[in-house]
Chain A
Amino acid sequence: MTDWLLSGLANSGIPLLFMTTFLSCLMVPVPSSLLMLAAGAFAAGGDLSIGAVLLAAYLGAVSGDQTGYAAARLARGPIDALLAGKARAARMMETARIRLDRRGGLTVFLTRWLMSPLGPYVNLTAGATGFSWMRFSMASAAGEAVWVTIYAGLGWAFATNIEMIADLSGSITAGLAAAFVATLLGRHLLRSLHHAR
Protein backbone atom coordinates (compact mmCIF):
# COMPACT_ATOMS: atom_id res chain seq x y z
CA MET A 1 0.00 0.00 0.00
CA THR A 2 2.91 2.35 0.75
CA ASP A 3 4.12 2.06 -2.85
CA TRP A 4 0.64 2.66 -4.17
CA LEU A 5 0.18 5.77 -2.02
CA LEU A 6 3.61 7.13 -2.96
CA SER A 7 3.01 6.60 -6.68
CA GLY A 8 -0.14 8.72 -6.46
CA LEU A 9 1.60 11.51 -4.57
CA ALA A 10 2.93 13.53 -7.51
CA ASN A 11 -0.32 13.43 -9.48
CA SER A 12 -3.01 13.56 -6.79
CA GLY A 13 -0.99 14.28 -3.68
CA ILE A 14 -3.28 16.79 -2.01
CA PRO A 15 -6.52 14.72 -1.81
CA LEU A 16 -4.43 11.62 -1.07
CA LEU A 17 -2.76 13.36 1.85
CA PHE A 18 -6.12 14.48 3.23
CA MET A 19 -7.52 10.94 3.04
CA THR A 20 -4.42 9.41 4.63
CA THR A 21 -4.24 11.68 7.66
CA PHE A 22 -8.02 11.40 8.06
CA LEU A 23 -7.91 7.60 8.09
CA SER A 24 -4.84 7.43 10.34
CA CYS A 25 -6.83 9.20 13.08
CA LEU A 26 -9.41 6.41 12.88
CA MET A 27 -7.11 3.42 13.54
CA VAL A 28 -6.65 2.62 9.84
CA PRO A 29 -2.97 1.59 9.51
CA VAL A 30 -1.90 3.93 6.70
CA PRO A 31 1.68 5.26 6.46
CA SER A 32 0.61 8.87 7.09
CA SER A 33 3.96 10.00 8.53
CA LEU A 34 5.91 8.67 5.54
CA LEU A 35 3.44 10.26 3.12
CA MET A 36 3.71 13.64 4.87
CA LEU A 37 7.51 13.42 4.76
CA ALA A 38 7.40 12.59 1.04
CA ALA A 39 4.92 15.41 0.39
CA GLY A 40 7.21 17.84 2.22
CA ALA A 41 10.12 16.67 0.07
CA PHE A 42 8.03 17.03 -3.09
CA ALA A 43 7.07 20.54 -2.02
CA ALA A 44 10.73 21.42 -1.52
CA GLY A 45 11.44 20.22 -5.07
CA GLY A 46 8.58 22.31 -6.46
CA ASP A 47 6.31 19.36 -7.31
CA LEU A 48 3.62 20.25 -4.77
CA SER A 49 2.64 23.49 -3.04
CA ILE A 50 3.78 23.48 0.60
CA GLY A 51 0.72 25.48 1.66
CA ALA A 52 -1.64 22.95 0.11
CA VAL A 53 0.33 20.05 1.65
CA LEU A 54 0.11 21.53 5.15
CA LEU A 55 -3.55 22.46 4.80
CA ALA A 56 -4.67 19.10 3.37
CA ALA A 57 -2.79 17.06 5.97
CA TYR A 58 -4.02 19.32 8.78
CA LEU A 59 -7.68 19.32 7.73
CA GLY A 60 -7.59 15.55 7.25
CA ALA A 61 -6.14 14.97 10.72
CA VAL A 62 -8.49 17.37 12.52
CA SER A 63 -11.61 15.99 10.81
CA GLY A 64 -10.38 12.45 11.55
CA ASP A 65 -10.10 13.33 15.24
CA GLN A 66 -13.58 14.87 15.20
CA THR A 67 -15.04 11.81 13.50
CA GLY A 68 -13.52 9.41 16.05
CA TYR A 69 -14.68 11.56 18.95
CA ALA A 70 -18.20 11.98 17.55
CA ALA A 71 -18.59 8.27 16.79
CA ALA A 72 -17.60 7.29 20.34
CA ARG A 73 -19.82 10.01 21.77
CA LEU A 74 -22.81 8.71 19.80
CA ALA A 75 -22.05 5.20 21.06
CA ARG A 76 -22.09 6.38 24.67
CA GLY A 77 -25.63 5.18 25.38
CA PRO A 78 -25.02 1.62 24.10
CA ILE A 79 -21.62 1.46 25.86
CA ASP A 80 -23.14 2.49 29.20
CA ALA A 81 -25.89 -0.09 28.74
CA LEU A 82 -23.28 -2.73 27.96
CA LEU A 83 -21.22 -1.86 31.05
CA ALA A 84 -24.26 -1.68 33.34
CA GLY A 85 -23.81 -5.23 34.60
CA LYS A 86 -20.01 -5.20 34.69
CA ALA A 87 -18.61 -3.45 37.72
CA ARG A 88 -14.92 -3.74 36.76
CA ALA A 89 -15.34 -2.44 33.21
CA ALA A 90 -17.50 0.39 34.48
CA ARG A 91 -14.82 1.26 37.05
CA MET A 92 -12.19 1.33 34.31
CA MET A 93 -14.33 3.77 32.31
CA GLU A 94 -14.73 5.92 35.40
CA THR A 95 -10.96 5.93 35.99
CA ALA A 96 -10.38 6.94 32.37
CA ARG A 97 -12.99 9.68 32.70
CA ILE A 98 -11.43 11.14 35.85
CA ARG A 99 -7.93 10.97 34.38
CA LEU A 100 -9.00 12.71 31.16
CA ASP A 101 -10.89 15.33 33.12
CA ARG A 102 -7.76 16.19 35.06
CA ARG A 103 -5.15 16.12 32.30
CA GLY A 104 -7.22 15.50 29.18
CA GLY A 105 -6.10 18.53 27.22
CA LEU A 106 -2.43 17.66 27.62
CA THR A 107 -3.08 13.97 26.85
CA VAL A 108 -4.96 14.81 23.66
CA PHE A 109 -2.26 17.31 22.63
CA LEU A 110 0.69 14.96 23.21
CA THR A 111 -0.97 11.93 21.60
CA ARG A 112 -1.34 13.91 18.36
CA TRP A 113 2.39 14.04 17.65
CA LEU A 114 4.75 12.90 20.42
CA MET A 115 2.94 9.60 21.10
CA SER A 116 0.88 9.50 17.93
CA PRO A 117 0.19 5.74 17.94
CA LEU A 118 -2.12 6.34 20.92
CA GLY A 119 -4.07 9.13 19.20
CA PRO A 120 -7.01 7.13 17.78
CA TYR A 121 -7.61 5.39 21.12
CA VAL A 122 -7.61 8.68 23.01
CA ASN A 123 -10.17 10.05 20.52
CA LEU A 124 -12.50 7.17 21.28
CA THR A 125 -11.94 7.36 25.03
CA ALA A 126 -12.55 11.10 25.04
CA GLY A 127 -15.81 10.69 23.12
CA ALA A 128 -17.02 7.68 25.09
CA THR A 129 -16.35 9.25 28.50
CA GLY A 130 -18.02 12.54 27.56
CA PHE A 131 -14.83 14.63 27.72
CA SER A 132 -15.57 18.28 26.90
CA TRP A 133 -15.81 18.74 23.11
CA MET A 134 -14.39 22.26 23.34
CA ARG A 135 -11.26 21.13 25.22
CA PHE A 136 -10.85 18.12 22.93
CA SER A 137 -11.14 20.26 19.79
CA MET A 138 -8.69 22.89 20.98
CA ALA A 139 -6.07 20.32 22.03
CA SER A 140 -6.60 18.37 18.79
CA ALA A 141 -6.29 21.52 16.65
CA ALA A 142 -3.05 22.51 18.40
CA GLY A 143 -1.55 19.00 18.47
CA GLU A 144 -2.28 18.21 14.83
CA ALA A 145 -0.71 21.53 13.82
CA VAL A 146 2.50 20.42 15.53
CA TRP A 147 2.30 16.94 13.96
CA VAL A 148 1.74 18.19 10.40
CA THR A 149 4.38 20.92 10.68
CA ILE A 150 7.03 18.56 12.07
CA TYR A 151 6.62 15.86 9.43
CA ALA A 152 6.07 18.06 6.36
CA GLY A 153 8.87 20.31 7.66
CA LEU A 154 11.28 17.39 8.14
CA GLY A 155 10.44 16.16 4.63
CA TRP A 156 11.09 19.64 3.27
CA ALA A 157 14.36 20.14 5.14
CA PHE A 158 15.85 16.62 4.91
CA ALA A 159 14.68 15.48 1.51
CA THR A 160 17.77 13.28 1.12
CA ASN A 161 16.15 10.23 2.63
CA ILE A 162 12.61 10.21 3.96
CA GLU A 163 12.84 6.48 4.71
CA MET A 164 15.38 7.25 7.40
CA ILE A 165 13.21 9.92 9.04
CA ALA A 166 10.15 7.66 8.90
CA ASP A 167 12.16 4.82 10.45
CA LEU A 168 13.59 6.90 13.30
CA SER A 169 10.43 8.88 14.07
CA GLY A 170 8.35 5.69 13.98
CA SER A 171 10.54 4.10 16.65
CA ILE A 172 10.52 7.23 18.79
CA THR A 173 6.75 7.77 18.79
CA ALA A 174 5.94 4.07 19.25
CA GLY A 175 8.53 3.72 22.03
CA LEU A 176 7.23 6.77 23.88
CA ALA A 177 3.63 5.55 23.51
CA ALA A 178 4.55 2.15 24.98
CA ALA A 179 6.55 3.79 27.79
CA PHE A 180 3.60 6.07 28.58
CA VAL A 181 1.19 3.11 28.79
CA ALA A 182 3.71 1.17 30.93
CA THR A 183 4.00 4.16 33.30
CA LEU A 184 0.22 4.44 33.70
CA LEU A 185 -0.13 0.71 34.35
CA GLY A 186 2.88 0.67 36.69
CA ARG A 187 1.44 3.49 38.77
CA HIS A 188 -1.85 1.68 38.89
CA LEU A 189 -0.13 -1.51 40.12
CA LEU A 190 1.88 0.32 42.78
CA ARG A 191 -1.25 2.03 44.04
CA SER A 192 -3.17 -1.22 44.35
CA LEU A 193 -0.20 -2.72 46.20
CA HIS A 194 -0.23 0.25 48.55
CA HIS A 195 -3.94 -0.17 49.22
CA ALA A 196 -3.47 -3.87 49.97
CA ARG A 197 -1.15 -3.12 52.89
Chain B
Amino acid sequence: MTWAGLRHLWQHRRLTLLAFIAASLLAMFFALRLVVAAVYWSDPVHLEQAPDGWMTTGYVARSWQVDPKDVAQALGLDPETHARGVTLEDIAEAQGRPLVDLIADLAAYLAETRP
Protein backbone atom coordinates (compact mmCIF):
# COMPACT_ATOMS: atom_id res chain seq x y z
CA MET B 1 0.00 0.00 0.00
CA THR B 2 1.55 3.23 -1.18
CA TRP B 3 0.74 6.82 -0.25
CA ALA B 4 -0.70 7.35 -3.72
CA GLY B 5 -2.97 4.37 -3.22
CA LEU B 6 -4.08 5.61 0.16
CA ARG B 7 -4.77 9.07 -1.27
CA HIS B 8 -6.78 7.51 -4.07
CA LEU B 9 -8.93 5.59 -1.56
CA TRP B 10 -9.36 8.70 0.60
CA GLN B 11 -10.59 10.65 -2.41
CA HIS B 12 -12.85 8.02 -3.93
CA ARG B 13 -13.75 5.53 -1.21
CA ARG B 14 -13.65 7.68 1.90
CA LEU B 15 -16.65 6.10 3.66
CA THR B 16 -15.44 2.54 3.05
CA LEU B 17 -11.94 3.46 4.20
CA LEU B 18 -13.24 5.02 7.41
CA ALA B 19 -15.49 2.01 8.05
CA PHE B 20 -12.51 -0.29 7.46
CA ILE B 21 -10.38 1.64 9.97
CA ALA B 22 -13.22 1.62 12.51
CA ALA B 23 -13.78 -2.14 12.13
CA SER B 24 -10.03 -2.82 12.44
CA LEU B 25 -9.78 -0.71 15.58
CA LEU B 26 -12.82 -2.46 17.02
CA ALA B 27 -11.29 -5.88 16.32
CA MET B 28 -8.06 -4.79 18.05
CA PHE B 29 -10.05 -3.43 20.99
CA PHE B 30 -11.83 -6.75 21.53
CA ALA B 31 -8.58 -8.70 21.15
CA LEU B 32 -7.04 -6.51 23.85
CA ARG B 33 -10.12 -6.89 26.05
CA LEU B 34 -9.87 -10.65 25.68
CA VAL B 35 -6.25 -10.59 26.88
CA VAL B 36 -7.15 -8.37 29.84
CA ALA B 37 -10.09 -10.63 30.73
CA ALA B 38 -7.95 -13.77 30.45
CA VAL B 39 -5.41 -12.30 32.87
CA TYR B 40 -8.16 -11.17 35.26
CA TRP B 41 -9.94 -14.53 35.31
CA SER B 42 -6.75 -16.55 35.65
CA ASP B 43 -6.71 -15.40 39.28
CA PRO B 44 -8.62 -18.09 41.26
CA VAL B 45 -9.92 -15.47 43.73
CA HIS B 46 -11.94 -13.88 40.94
CA LEU B 47 -13.51 -17.21 40.02
CA GLU B 48 -15.62 -17.63 43.13
CA GLN B 49 -18.89 -15.87 42.46
CA ALA B 50 -20.27 -13.92 45.43
CA PRO B 51 -23.82 -15.04 46.34
CA ASP B 52 -26.57 -12.89 44.85
CA GLY B 53 -30.36 -12.76 45.16
CA TRP B 54 -31.07 -14.41 41.80
CA MET B 55 -29.04 -17.53 42.61
CA THR B 56 -30.52 -20.76 43.94
CA THR B 57 -28.89 -22.88 46.66
CA GLY B 58 -28.04 -25.40 43.95
CA TYR B 59 -26.26 -22.73 41.90
CA VAL B 60 -24.23 -21.47 44.85
CA ALA B 61 -23.31 -25.05 45.76
CA ARG B 62 -21.99 -25.72 42.24
CA SER B 63 -20.21 -22.40 41.99
CA TRP B 64 -18.34 -23.04 45.24
CA GLN B 65 -18.17 -26.80 44.81
CA VAL B 66 -19.87 -27.65 48.06
CA ASP B 67 -22.76 -30.02 48.84
CA PRO B 68 -26.13 -28.34 48.07
CA LYS B 69 -27.56 -29.93 51.22
CA ASP B 70 -24.93 -28.16 53.33
CA VAL B 71 -25.84 -24.84 51.70
CA ALA B 72 -29.53 -25.41 52.48
CA GLN B 73 -28.63 -26.32 56.06
CA ALA B 74 -26.45 -23.23 56.46
CA LEU B 75 -29.50 -21.12 55.60
CA GLY B 76 -31.65 -22.86 58.21
CA LEU B 77 -33.58 -24.93 55.65
CA ASP B 78 -34.41 -28.61 55.83
CA PRO B 79 -32.15 -30.11 53.14
CA GLU B 80 -34.55 -33.00 52.51
CA THR B 81 -37.68 -30.95 51.85
CA HIS B 82 -36.07 -27.79 50.39
CA ALA B 83 -37.53 -27.34 46.92
CA ARG B 84 -35.48 -26.79 43.77
CA GLY B 85 -35.77 -23.60 41.74
CA VAL B 86 -36.09 -21.28 44.73
CA THR B 87 -33.85 -18.19 44.72
CA LEU B 88 -32.04 -16.73 47.71
CA GLU B 89 -34.41 -13.79 47.42
CA ASP B 90 -37.42 -16.13 47.79
CA ILE B 91 -35.82 -17.81 50.81
CA ALA B 92 -35.14 -14.48 52.52
CA GLU B 93 -38.72 -13.42 51.94
CA ALA B 94 -40.10 -16.71 53.28
CA GLN B 95 -37.90 -16.37 56.37
CA GLY B 96 -38.99 -12.77 56.81
CA ARG B 97 -35.50 -11.28 56.89
CA PRO B 98 -33.56 -8.94 54.61
CA LEU B 99 -31.71 -10.51 51.70
CA VAL B 100 -28.42 -8.90 52.75
CA ASP B 101 -28.56 -10.75 56.12
CA LEU B 102 -29.10 -14.07 54.40
CA ILE B 103 -26.27 -13.39 51.93
CA ALA B 104 -23.98 -12.40 54.83
CA ASP B 105 -24.75 -15.70 56.58
CA LEU B 106 -24.13 -17.62 53.40
CA ALA B 107 -20.86 -15.78 52.73
CA ALA B 108 -19.72 -16.55 56.28
CA TYR B 109 -20.52 -20.23 55.77
CA LEU B 110 -18.71 -20.31 52.42
CA ALA B 111 -15.65 -18.56 53.85
CA GLU B 112 -15.58 -21.18 56.59
CA THR B 113 -15.84 -24.22 54.31
CA ARG B 114 -13.62 -22.82 51.52
CA PRO B 115 -10.84 -20.86 53.23
Contact = CB atoms under 8 A, between A and B. Distances in A.
Contacts of B33: 171, 175
Interface in B1-51: 5, 8-9, 12-13, 16-17, 19-20, 23-24, 26-27, 29-31, 33-34, 37-38, 41, 46-49
Q: Range of interface residues on chain A?
A: 35 or more
A15 B19 CA distance: 38
Interface string B44-61: 001111001110101101
Interface in A36-54: 38, 41-42, 44-48
Interface in A161-188: 161-164, 167-168, 171-172, 174-175, 178-179, 181-182, 185-186, 188
Contacts of B26: 174, 178, 182
Contacts of A138: none
A133 to B, nearest CB: 29
Nearest to B33: A171
Contacts of A3: 54
A6 interface: yes
Given A7-B54, A45-B61, A161-B48, A171 B13 contact: no
Say whether chain A's binding surface is mostly helix, strand, loop, or mixed: helix
B53 A7 contact: yes
Interface stretch (B73-81, B82-90, B102-110): B82-90
B16 A47 contact: no
B27 A161 contact: no
B63 interface: yes
Contacts of B89: 7
Say whether chain B's binding surface is mostly helix, strand, loop, or mixed: helix
23 contacts: A3-B54, A6-B52, A42-B59, A42-B85, A45-B62, A47-B84, A48-B85, A159-B59, A159-B63, A160-B64, A161-B46, A163-B49, A164-B46, A167-B37, A171-B37, A178-B30, A182-B24, A182-B26, A186-B24, A189-B13, A192-B12, A192-B13, A196-B8
Interface of A: 3, 6-7, 9-11, 38, 41-42, 44-48, 159-164, 167-168, 171-172, 174-175, 178-179, 181-182, 185-186, 188-189, 192-193, 196
